Amino acid sequence: MRIIGLAGWSGAGKTTLVTQLIPIFVARGLKVSTVKHAHKGFDIDLPGKDSHRHRTAGATEVFVASGIRWALVHELRNEPEPDLVDIIPKLAPVDLLIVEGFKRHRHPKIEIYRPEVGKPLLHPDDDYIVAIISNAELPEVKIPLIPLDDVEKVADVMTVEAMPADRLKHLKD
């Protein structure tokens, strides 16, 4: 399994880009999974559903299975947020793992930057950023700059820059 990330500030378009990239990789014959970092709490089960009732009753983990899909919800219950290194072993092996977010983590990633978001570039303060995708000219940037609408080129760069996931544990702080 190889890993590459997309990093950027909220509102830059990371999720939109990921949803454009996945079909490209699948068409190229790759099996793809994603890890998405959420800054706030989130729910994947709805109030009133049995799984939600189990979790709110105090279960640490609730596994829901059907003939179509399965999901595991793990409630941290005051435990620390898991590191990316701890998440990856929980996933089934695939050809490519795309990480959305985890912008401060030490893994290869491509920054998506839009000046209209009003935030600074993450690069050059992050040596793990291997390229930047933007809708702006950025003459000060010394790494590859890819136009935001050239999704095929983004996929090409991600393919080249993705690293074996087992090397990730050596990059942990």
71 found inside a domain: no
172 has pLDDT over 60:
no
13 found inside a domain: yes
138-148 pLDDT, tens digit each: 999 999 999 99
CA distance 126 to 162: 16
Angle, CA of 59, 98 and 13, to the nearest 5°: 100
The CATH number assigned to the domain holding 99 equals: 3.40.50.300
69 found inside a domain: no
Check residue 171 and give its pLDDT. Answer: 61
Check residue 78 and give its pLDDT. Answer: 87
168 has pLDDT over 90:
no
Pair 33, 97: CB distance under 8 Å: yes
Radius of gyration of the chain (CA): 18
- Please state at what angle helix 14-27 crosses helix 151-161, rounded to 10 degrees: 80
Q: 3-state class of 161 per DSSP?
A: helix
- Domain containing residue 23: 2-39+81-171
Helices of type H across 7-123: 14-27, 50-56, 84-87
Check residue 154 and give its pLDDT. Answer: 97
Number of domains in the chain: 1
6 found inside a domain: yes
Share of the chain above pLDDT 90, in %: 60
73-109 pLDDT, tens digit each: 888 888 888 888 989 998 999 999 999 988 888 899 9
102-136 pLDDT, tens digit each: 888 889 999 999 999 999 999 988 999 999 999 99
Check residue 73 and give its pLDDT. Answer: 85
61 found inside a domain: no
